[in-house]
Amino acid sequence: MEQFDPKNKISFEEFKLFYESTEKVTDRRNTANTWNYSICTAILGAIAMIINWSVGKPEFIFTGVSIVVISFLQQIPLLYDRNLVI
């Protein structure tokens, strides 16, 4: 019969700690992704409403398109700060 090796218990404890840490990180990432998805959906909905409003009133079409273009242009520096642009 094999003798109990304390090193095996330590290895298992390290694995358990690693697994729990990985699980916490995964949960945080899922929460952040859900939040970002909600924000992105709200922004796209707002853009769709602005475009729909400006198309319905031809005298405001330039205003609606300008708002959409400016909102996109404001995001470019954020993409460069996060190194998301190649």
- Checking if the pLDDT of 7 tops 70, the result is no
Q: What is the pTM of this model?
A: 0.55
SS3 call for 85: coil
Cβ atoms of 76 and 70 closer than 8 Å? no
The domain limits of the chain are 6-81
CB atoms within 10 A of CB 54: 19
pLDDT tens-digit series, residues 19-67: 889 999 998 888 888 888 888 888 888 888 888 888 888 888 888 888 8
State how far the Cα of 83 lies from the Cα of 86, in Å rounded to an integer: 7
